[in-house]
Structure 1
Amino acid sequence: MKIAVLAANGKLGSLIVKEAVERGNDVTAIAREENRTVAKNFIKRDILDLTENDLKDFDVVITAFGAWTEDTLPLHKTTLEHLTDILANKNTRLLVVGGAGSLYTDESLTTQLFTTPDFPADYLPIATNMAKGLEVLRKRNDVKWTYISPAAEFVYDAERKGEYQLAGEVFTVNTKGESKISYADYAIAMVDEAEKGNHINQRISVLWK
């Protein structure tokens, strides 16, 4: 399978590349700076400069883009607008590293976590902007997208357990009452979805069992 990983040099992007390569996939890393991943194939390019031609040969495009500063937060929406435009009416699937703040509090799917009074103020700007990106996807029936939200505690240097559980639109905790996952195990879930394509045009979420 031919997989492109955007923002591949980041902490999560590089782990997704590693997971995909180790499974024998044909992986191309795409980033603005020199390749710092294990991928042998590399395209040096900003996401907003990518064209239909750049992505036409891939089965799956994974975007691990993330931004934290006030001036770059809107790119969570802008990059997905661009990617959905150039992947419209294509067989290429678009997989997106999402956020947990846009998960719903219950099955009524009326209240999202980031709109609740107890949501951490420090994370409100990024949660709001990532939710706008999800809304871009929801409006596109001409793109085969999947949005994967991590657990509330998304920990870079936590262990790789090699397992996870899938959930859907509703915020979920495990039997310990925790919503937590490592970057490494999230990468496993992402590559599983890339290989299987079980949740096209859906948002799913992942956490430790």
Structure 2
Amino acid sequence: MKIAVICANGKEGKLLVKEALARGLDVTAVARGENKTAATKFVSKDLFDLTADDLKNFDVVIDAFGAWSPETLPLHGASLKHLCDLLSGTATRLLVVGGAGSLYIDKEHSLCVADAPDFPNAFKPLAAAMAAALKDLRARRDVRWTYVSPAGDFQAEGERTGRYILGGEELTLNSRGESAISYADYAVAMIDEAESGRHVQQRISVVRE
């Protein structure tokens, strides 16, 4: 299996590369500047400069793009649209490192995590931008996408246990009432999905076991 990790120099991107390499997969890291990953195959290119030819030989493309400043938040939607346009009509799957703010907190799917009164105001613009990008992604029937939302507490420095609970559209809690997962265990879940391809054109979510 040939996998490309886009924006591979980020914290999650590097862990995705490491996890995929540990399983013996053929991994190409893609990022601006120099290679900061464990991959021996590297493409130094901005996401928005990628072409269809750049991605045509991969079975799976993982989008680990992230933006946090007010002026760059719209790039969540723009970057995802660009990758979808490049992969439109192909057999290549697109896996997206998503957000938790758009997970539903009611059975009717009328309220999201970001709608809760205790959701931090500082993160609302980011959650809104990522939710808008997901909404646009759901409309793409020409791309074999999967959107993977982390738990509410997404821990950059957490340990890798190799265990997680797979959820769907709703915020899932573990047996201790927690919604948390480490970046490392999220990478385990993402590469599991890359290998299995069980949730094409679906949003899934993961939480620490």
Distance 1:65 1:207 in 2: 21
Cross-structure match for 1:45 = 45
Between the aligned partners of 1:61 and 1:82, the Cα distance in structure 2 is: 13
Post-superposition Cα deviations, 1:114-170, rounded to whole Å, max 9, x if no partner, equal 123221111101111111111121010010000000000000111111100100000
2:74 pairs with 1:74? yes
| 3-state SS, counterpart of residue 29 of structure 1 | strand
Letter in 1 for 2:115: T
Distance 1:117 1:208 in 2: 24
In the alignment, which residue of structure 1 is the partner of 2:188? 188
**Aligned pair count?**
209
Alignment of 1:83-122 (within 5 A): 83-122=83-122
SS at match of 2:48: helix
Deviation at 1:62, TM superposition (A): 0.1
Question: How do 1:17-28 residues align onto structure 2 when only pairs under 5 Å count?
Answer: 17-28=17-28
Structure 2 stretches lacking a partner, 5+ long? none
- Provide the alpha-carbon RMSD of the alignment: 0.7
Normalising by structure 2, we get a TM-score of: 0.98
Give the residue type in structure 2 aligned to 1:48.
F
Unaligned runs of 5+ in 1: none
Please give the per-residue CA displacement for 1:13-58, whole angstroms capped at 9, x wherever unaligned: 0000000011000000000110010111111111111110000000
Percent identity, aligned pairs only?
A: 58
The aligned amino acid for 1:143 is V
Task: Point out 4+ residue stretches in structure 1 off by more than 2 angstroms.
Answer: 115-118
CA distance in 1, matches of 2:88, 2:109: 27
Identify the residue that residue 12 of structure 2 maps to in structure 1. 12
